Each structure stands twice: as C-alpha cells, then as structure tokens.
Amino acid sequence: MGYADRRDRILRALAAAHGAARARYLATDRSDRRTLARMVEEGGVQEYPGRVIALPGTRREVIVARQVGGLIGCAHAVVAHGLPTRSDPGPRVHVLVSTTPRAAPLRTTCHHIPGLFVDPLGSPYADAETMLTTFMRCAEPLDALIALDAALRGGLVTKEQLRAGLRGNRNGMLRELLDRANPKSRSLLETIARYELEEAGAAPEAGVEVPIGELDLLLGRLDIETDGHEFHSQRADWERDRRRDQWLIAHGYTPLRLTSHQVLTHQTVELVRPVAQRLGCWPEPAA
C-alpha cells in the first residue's frame, strides 16, 4: 500500500471520528506512522498536545475530548443533538470521563462517569441519555428543563430511561425536575414561560388541544401564547393568529400574547399575573 492509499485511509478515519483522534488509533504500524508524520509536515492535518491529530477546522470541543480521552457532554452535546439552549455553550468544554485524566486543557471541566465506554474512533459526543443525565446535574434547572422538554418531544429519550439512571436519595431533586419536563412544550419560549409561572405558584397546562388548534399554555381560561417573531411575521400568520383570538374570545377564553423578548427577559409573571388575577385563575397566596 502506497502513501496515497494510507493517507486516504487515515483521512477517512478522521472524518468518521468527527475530525480528530489520537495518533495511536490512526497509525497502527511503522508505515502508518511515517504516513501520518508526512501528513502533518505537509499541513493536511494538524497535531495537538496528547498526540491528537485533527483535520483543519475541527471543532475545539472534539479536539479537547480526544485529548482527555472522554466524551463531550453538557451544553456542547446538547447543541450537537439539535436541542435548544438559551445561549451559546461558550468556550468551556465539559467532558465525561471514566477515569480522571492527569491533566486537561484549559477551560475544560471533567465529569466522572464510572464504566463509561469511549470509542476512540467513534462519535466524540455522549449519547442523549448520558448527556441529559449529566446536564441535569450540571446546568441551571431551567436550562436542563429546556433540553429535557425538547429531547422528550423529539423522541431522543423517554422519562423512564432517564429515571432509571436517577435512583437513590441523592437524585431526588433531579427526579423532581424530570417530573416537571413536558414534551407538549413545543419551543424554548414555552418552556421558559411555563417554568417561571410554576416557580411563581401557578400551574399552566401545556399544549392544550381545542378545535381551533393547540394552545401554548392554558391557565384557567387564560390562553398564554409565546410568539416567536419567525413564526408570526408573515401576513398569513398574522391573520391566522387573529382568527384564533376571535374564536377563543367567542368561546370564553382570554388570549394573551407574549413576545419572545418579553419571555426571554423574564417578564412572563409580571405580565400574566394581573390578567390571571382579574380572571380569578391566579392561585391565592397561602394563608
């Protein structure tokens, strides 16, 4: 086998590994090692500390995971699984490891997961179940709930699968958070609004079906809609929303539309509470 064939085989292995892997898994004999050294010298691949070889443009979190010998978890894995987040994961990478490494790159957090299997040439991202369980321990409750709602809605996991990994007294709070997750919440905005109303003592229903369609959140007879601009900016969307409101009012509901900015800047409770109080559907404070 010549240089070109060996090079192409290594490049295919790197591509399948999301762009990075340790040299020892790419080059298993002397000829492969010579090929890899030449590839680095020619600039076709780059070498990082820990003898990690990466294709140009490989994501930093992938390189870090290969250096540490673990799997990417928490916010970066949430995004990789296509789940919504309130903000960009940022530069700090959370890596799940079976054994604590002697050293890790700067801006790296390692989470010890006993018995974790890591394929050095497979996906560097944790599976959905492992990622979500770890994220629940690491993230703010609202951020974890946003990911849980979306993962349940998309069928990535079930509550039963997650609950099986949350046994014992120390996981009681996480089981309570899991119980609050609701696959009927169709967007990040709905989850945020529902969470903040619940924290204020209200108990809105999510995804309530009525003849005119599905309501975001229903508190008594108050329909709370969280309107992201991208889904309500066309003329047809505007007219459909007005027809919904007209139907709701005619059938004894009160529609209240919150903008995405209002929800994201935590104005939900202050906007909903006075309307709900007038309608008699805001919970009375405990005596």
Of the three residues 17, 35, 58, the one that is the final residue of a domain is: 58
Q: Choose one of 58, 78, 94: the last residue of a domain.
A: 58
Cα separation, 178 vs 176, whole angstroms: 5
Output the pTM of the full model: 0.90
Average pLDDT, the chain: 93
In a domain, 157, yes or no: no
pLDDT band at 103, cuts 50/70/90? confident
pLDDT per position as a tens digit, 111-129: 999 999 999 999 999 999 9
102 pLDDT higher than 80: no
Establish if 74 belongs to a structural domain. Answer: no
In a domain, 141, yes or no: no
Residue 71 has pLDDT above 60, yes or no: yes
Q: Which amino acid would we find at residue 107?
A: R
Distances (CA, A) of 36 to 44, 218, 219: 10, 61, 63
For residue 21, tell me if it sits in a domain: yes
Q: What's the total number of domains in the chain?
A: 2
What's the CATH code of the domain at 231?
A: 3.40.960.10
Per the structure, the complete domain to which residue 239 belongs is given by 184-287
DSSP the chain: --HHHHHHHHHHHHHHTTTEEEHHHH--SHHHHHHHHHHHHHTSSEEETTTEEE-TT--HHHHHHHHHTSEE-HHHHHHHTT---SS---S-EEEEESS--S---SSEEEEE-TT----TTS-SBPPHHHHHHHHHHHS-HHHHHHHHHHHHHHTS--HHHHHHT--SGGGHHHHHHHHH--TT--SHHHHHHHHHHHHTT--PEEEEEETTEEEEEEETTEEEEEE-GGGS-SHHHHHHHHHHHHHHHHTT-EEEEEEHHHHHTT-HHHHHHHHHHHHT-SPPPP-
Q: What is the pLDDT of residue 40?
A: 96
Position 169 in a domain:
no
Establish if 95 belongs to a structural domain: no
CATH number of the domain residue 47 falls in = 1.10.10
Q: Give 8-63 pLDDT, tens digit per residue.
A: 999 999 999 999 999 999 998 999 999 999 999 999 999 999 999 999 999 999 99
Residues 116-170 pLDDT 10s: 999 999 999 999 999 999 999 999 999 999 999 999 999 999 999 999 989 999 9
Domain assignment present for 239: yes
- Of 58, 79, 100, the residue that ends a domain is 58
Question: Rounded to whole angstroms, what are the CA distances from 277 to 199, 219, 280, 283?
Answer: 16, 11, 5, 8
pLDDT value of residue 231: 52
Structural domain contains residue 125: no
189-244 residue pLDDT tens: 999 999 999 999 999 999 999 998 899 999 999 999 998 655 555 667 778 888 88
Q: What is the pLDDT of residue 233?
A: 57
Asked if pLDDT for residue 7 goes beyond 60, the answer is yes
Are 13 and 121 in contact by the 8 Å Cβ rule? The answer is yes
